[in-house]
Amino acid sequence: MLKETNLPKITEKEGELAGLRAKQAEQANTTQPVIDNFDGLMARINSLNELPPMPSLFIFLLFLAIETAPIFSKLMSQKGEYDIKLAMEEDALSVLEKQQRLQRDLLLKTDIDLNEQVYYEVTKDEETYAYKKQKAKDILRLQTDHFFKKQTDILKS
């Protein structure tokens, strides 16, 4: 019932939609050649080539001046507050880096000196020498006993 009452409205709207689509396609076909000829960077470059040399040179110089003006103004201006603060920050950073490098070098030198002193004292310590000598003898005895046991097991079998 609902379908039957709305069927004429649906047909009417579909007809309008088809008409609008046809109108859009027709309008696109009539305007497309105009758009194709005057679009993009290449069209602009071609139009610049058609200009006489004097206006073309003027436009080139105008764009060159616009692009380079900030650079020239920065180069010609005196040092400002920002430049001074930037130089101070760079100096502070380089000083900090030098301090850290010197601290690392001193730490390494101190560590080397301490190790040399400790090992020198250990080499002069008779008690440590005797202890290491005894442990080395114990290891040699164990190795000899193990080798002897292994050889006798081979001979028995």
Give me the pLDDT at residue 105, please. 94
Q: Is the pLDDT of residue 88 over 70?
A: yes
Q: How would DSSP label each residue in 36-54?
A: HHT-HHHHHHHHHHHS-HH
- The pTM is what? 0.35
- pLDDT exceeds cutoff 80 at 31: no
- Show the tokens assigned to 64: 């060159």
What pLDDT, on a 0 to 100 scale, did the predictor assign at position 40? 66
